[in-house]
């Protein structure tokens, strides 16, 4: 099978139509049909058939659909790597958990890449459970996120990188946020706010809430998933969004509660757009780790990043996020989202 055949098949799967696939690829419908026919002959599988409701894929056709996307992605990555090597540049492939990729990676990668003019960084979102396999198969150079449940110490070196606290936040008028302070006259001050902190949120009350979650809720080893399991939050009370930022926006609108690292929501909490819920049930202490292959030899970009990530300067960058204008950002950063 050739990349051209896989690209044609992937377009048909994504668009659900040979005609639309041909239009997107800027080729004729007969060319797309020819590539599909060659795949069917080589694999001995019909792959899909036309029905009144659209295309119906065989089990083999569904399997090829996922593999085609992976192989085309690897081809694109290889082109980037070869091109970078030809220009005398290095490529660092970072695999990160979704929570770290969204909240910690931007500041860290920007700062680290700015230290080397010959370095290109590719960031992809990965499931922490697959970190070791991805490292051993050389699919990524370094993994950053929660420490997987099982790690082969002789094959993978895991370094604690950053401690953080996961908290629950909600809109100021949420029932669990507590009463809003009322300004009253005071003999010494024109106005004073009686500080009556909200009561700690109990596990029972938290189970009753709508939980607004990002992709990390579905990933193993993540602190978000640990919090959900600890409180036994029913699945019908969970709403998972494409990003953690989207979940927090819904929380600001009073749609429910959302978990997030304290440093990520600190600006909104200070501005009064969000309120951090009180109580030990609403917090989790967690650690992000940097994982690399435990191989001896000259320091690589992956090892350099693993060491640099635990420095005070790097931690400050992760907490503050990216702050450099895109036009002044020289090192290339390629972002790939993987399901």
Concatenating the DSSP letter of every residue in 142-210 gives EEEESPPS---TTTEEEEEEEEEEEEEEE-TTSGGG-PPP--B--SSSS-B----PPPPPPHHHHHTSP
Residues 333 and 229 both lie in one domain: no
For residues 158 and 294, state if they share a domain: yes
- Residue 323 maps to a domain: yes
* Domain co-membership, 322 together with 274: no
Same domain? For 113 and 226 the reply is no
Could you tell me if 222 and 268 lie in one domain?
yes
Residues contacting residue 320 through CB under 8 Å, at least 6 positions apart: 107
On the question of pLDDT at 143 being above 80, the answer is yes
Q: What is the mean pLDDT of the chain?
A: 83
Total of domains in the chain: 3
- For residues 184 and 229, which has the higher predicted lDDT (pLDDT)? 229
Residues 173 and 279 in one domain: yes
What per-residue confidence (pLDDT) applies to 13? 87
Q: For residue 52, what is the domain's CATH number?
A: 1.10.10.10
221-262: pLDDT as tens digits: 789 999 999 999 999 999 988 889 999 999 999 999 999 999
* 318-327 contacts, C-beta under 8 A, 24 or more apart: 318/103, 318/104, 318/105, 318/107, 318/108, 318/162, 318/263, 319/107, 319/263, 320/107, 321/103, 321/106, 321/107, 322/106, 322/107, 322/110, 323/107, 324/110, 324/114
Shared domain for 219 and 279, answered yes or no, is yes
88: left (phi over 0), alpha (psi -120 to 50) or beta: left
Q: In whole angstroms, how far apart are CA 74 and each of 61, 131, 132, 165, 293?
A: 20, 17, 18, 35, 21
Rounded-to-integer distance, Cα 188 and Cα 250, Å: 40
pTM exceeds 0.75 for this model? no
Mean pLDDT of the 282-298 span:
85
Residues 175 and 272 grouped into a single domain: yes
Residue 125 located in a structural domain: yes
For 29-69, the pLDDT digits (tens) are 999 999 999 999 999 999 888 887 778 888 888 888 878 87
In a domain, 78, yes or no: no
Residues 94 and 57 in one domain: no
Closest CA to 322 of 19, 112, 135, 42: 112
For residues 60 and 38, give the distance between their C-alpha atoms in angstroms, rounded to a whole number: 15
Q: Which residues constitute the domain of residue 144? A: 89-162+288-337
């Amino acid at each position: 099978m050739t990349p051209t055949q896989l690209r044609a098949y992937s377009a048909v799967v994504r668009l659900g139509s040979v005609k639309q696939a041909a239009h997107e690829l800027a080729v004729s419908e007969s060319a797309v049909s020819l590539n599909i026919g060659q795949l069917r002959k080589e694999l001995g599988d019909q792959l899909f058939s036309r029905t009144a409701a659209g295309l119906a894929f065989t089990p083999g056709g569904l399997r090829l659909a996922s593999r085609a996307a992976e192989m085309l992605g690897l081809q694109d990555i290889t082109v980037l790597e070869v091109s970078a090597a030809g220009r005398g540049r290095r490529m660092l492939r970072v695999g990160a958990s979704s929570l770290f990729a969204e909240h910690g990676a931007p500041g860290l990668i920007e700062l680290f890449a700015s230290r080397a003019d010959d370095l290109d960084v590719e960031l992809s979102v990965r499931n922490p459970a697959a970190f070791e396999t991805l490292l051993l198969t050389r699919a990524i150079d370094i993994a950053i996120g929660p420490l997987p449940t099982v790690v082969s110490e002789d094959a993978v070196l895991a370094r604690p990188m950053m401690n953080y606290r996961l908290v629950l936040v909600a809109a100021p008028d949420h029932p669990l946020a507590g009463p809003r302070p009322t300004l009253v006259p005071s003999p010494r001050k024109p106005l004073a706010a009686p500080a009556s902190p909200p009561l700690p949120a109990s596990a029972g009350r938290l189970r009753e809430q709508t939980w607004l979650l990002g992709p990390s809720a579905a990933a193993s080893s993540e602190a978000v998933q640990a919090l959900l399991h600890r409180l036994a939050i029913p699945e019908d009370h969970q709403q998972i969004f494409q990003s953690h930022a989207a979940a927090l926006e819904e929380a600001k609108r009073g749609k429910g509660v959302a978990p997030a690292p304290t440093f990520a929501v600190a600006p909104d909490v200070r501005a009064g757009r969000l309120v951090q819920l009180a109580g030990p049930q609403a917090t989790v202490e967690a650690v992000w780790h940097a994982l690399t292959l435990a191989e001896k030899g000259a320091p690589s970009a992956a090892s350099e990043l693993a060491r640099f990530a635990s420095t005070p300067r790097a931690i400050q960058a992760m907490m503050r996020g990216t702050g450099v204008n895109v036009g002044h950002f020289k090192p290339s950063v390629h972002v790939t989202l993987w399901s």
